[in-house]
Amino acid sequence: MSLFDHKLTEIQSMLEKKEVSIPDLVDESFKRIAAVDGDVKAFITLDEENARKQAEEAQSAGKTGILSGIPIGVKDNIVTKGLRTTAASQILRNFDPIYDATVVNKLHEAGTITVGKLNMDEFAMGSSTENSSFQKTRNPWNLNHVPGGSSGGSAASVAAGEVPFSLGSDTGGSIRQPASFCGVVGMKPTYGRVSRFGLIAFASSLDQIGPITRNVEDNAHLLEAIVGIDPHDSTSANVPAEKFSANLTGDIKGLRIAVPKEYLGEGVSEEVRQSVLSALKVLEGLGATWEEVSLPHSKYGVATYYLLASSEASSNLARFDGIRYGYRAENADNLIDLYKKTRAEGFGDEVKRRIMLGTFALSSGYYDAYYKKAQQVRTLIKKDFEDVLESYDVIIGPTTPTPAFKIGEIIDDPLTMYANDILTIPVNLAGVPGISVPCGFAENGLPLGLQIIGHHFDEKTVYRVAHAYEQATDFHKQKPGL
C-alpha cells in the first residue's frame, strides 16, 4: 500500500507518531514517478534536488499542519520562482519565473513541497492534453486513452499515485473533465474565490485555480489553504475564508437537488446517464430529494464560451512577442517580422486557431455580432443558474458526456473536441463552483464522474454533498492497475 493511499489526516498522524518522515513522503513521490511516469508522462519538469532539500529542512523544523511536508505537483501555467514554467508551449520553453504565484506562496506557508510541474494543453487550450508541445500525457486507467485536459497532467499524476494531490486550472472544465476521466476529485471554485495572480492567463474572466485529490476531504483541506482575497488580483473576492473540511458531516437530509434535463439528454452516453441516475438513488437514500429542471440556455454554452475565451486569449497572448521574455525568433528583418516569426514558431496550432478566432470576434464590424452577443448570452446562462438555485441547494449531472476517448481519436476534429466540454462550460460562464467526483465505471473500465454545482461562494455545501455521496460508495477507492 502506498503512503499516498492514506488521507491527509492519516498521513499527518503517521508523521506525528514518527512512523514516517517528510523525506520518506518525498522519496515515495519520486520513486513512483520513476516507476510510472515514463508511461503516464504527467510531469514536464521535476525539482528533485530542491524538493529533497526542503523535505530535510521541514523535518528538522518540526512544523505541523494538515499540509505540512506533503508533496504536490503544480500545473505548468502556475508560476514558480526559479522553477521552469512553460504553459506547455515552446514560446516559454526557457522561462524561469522570478516570483511565485499567490497560490504557491500560500501552499509553501502551509508546508507543502513542490516536486515538479505538470503537463497540460498548451496555454490551457484543449480537452485532452494532446496539445502540449512537449509530450502527450496518458490516462493511468488505460494508456491508450487521454487523461482529459487541459489539466491532464494534474489529474493523471494523482490517479497514478505520483503525488497525493495537485493544482490545476479550470477555464471551461479543465479541472473537472480530467478529474472525471482519471477517476479522481476535482474542484473548480467560485470565480474570485482563489487568486489568479501568477496564473498564466488564457481567459481572465473564466480562469480559476483549484485542487485535484484522491478524496473529497483532502480536496477541502487543499482549497482551505489557497482561498482568500489578494491585493495582487483585483478580481479576487473579499469573502471570508471558510473551514470547508469542518462541514463534511455526511448529513444531507432534506437537501434539494436540481437535475437539468439538458445534462441527461442528447449526446450523453447511456452508461454515463445511468451512472448519474444511480448516484441520485444513493443521495435519495441519504435523505435528499431531486427534481428535473431546465437550464434552457446551456445549449449555447459551447459557442458562447469559445467566442469569449478566444477573444480574451487574443488579448492576453499579445504579450508573447519575443521582446521582453520567452522565445525569440532569429534572422528577423525588422520588428514586425520578429513578431510574426516568433509567434509562428512559438505557438502551436490550437493556440493559433483560438487567437485567430478571438481576433476576428473582436475586430471592427464583427464585435457587436459576435463578442457582444456572446456576452449577452453569457448573462442569460448565468441567470438560468441563479433562477434554479433559488429553489434548490445544488445542481447535479454528469461531468462529461462520455468516458475518456482514445489518444488521436478526435484531435483533428476541433468541433467534436470542443463539444466534449458541453457540461462543464456553463459553470465557468456563470462563475459558480463545481466539483467532479467518481461515480462509476464504463464497460471498458474507464472512470465516470458526477458533477455537483452550487451557489456562488457555497463550496461548503458542494463539498458536503460530494463527501456524503463518496462515503456511501467506494468508487474513489479504486485505483488504476499501472
Query: What residues are annotated to the active site?
Result: 75, 150, 174
Interatomic CA distance for residues 184 and 90, integer angstroms = 29
Burial 406-418 (b: 16+ CB within 10 A, else e): ebebbbeebeebb
Q: Which amino acid is at 418?
A: Y
Chain centroid to CA 53: 28
User: Residue 194: phi, psi to the nearest 5?
Assistant: -120, 135
- For 193, the grid coordinates are 474565490
Question: What residues pair up with 169 in beta bridges, in sequence order?
Answer: 209
Q: Dihedral, CA atoms, 226, 229, 232, 234, nearest 10 degrees?
A: 130
Take residue 418 and report the three cell numbers written for it: 470542443
In whole angstroms, give the CA distance from residue 255 to residue 392: 8
Question: Do 268 and 398 meet the contact criterion of CB atoms below 8 Å apart?
Answer: yes
β-pairing, 289-293 vs 394-398, is: unpaired
Nearest one of 308, 436, 432 to 382, comparing CA atoms: 432
- Count CB neighbours of 178 within 10 A: 39
What is d(CA 348, CA 152) in angstroms, rounded to the nearest whole number? 18
Which residue in this structure is represented by grid cell 516568433?
Answer: 342
Distance separating alpha carbons of residues 132 and 127, to the nearest angstrom: 11
Q: Is 436 helix (H, G, I), strand (E, B) or coil?
A: strand
* H helix runs in 363-453, sequence order: 373-389, 414-419, 425-430
Give the burial string for 369-389 (b: 16+ CB within 10 Å, else e).
ebbebbeebbeebbebbeebb
Please give the helix or strand (H or E) that residue 292 lies within, else none: strand 289-293
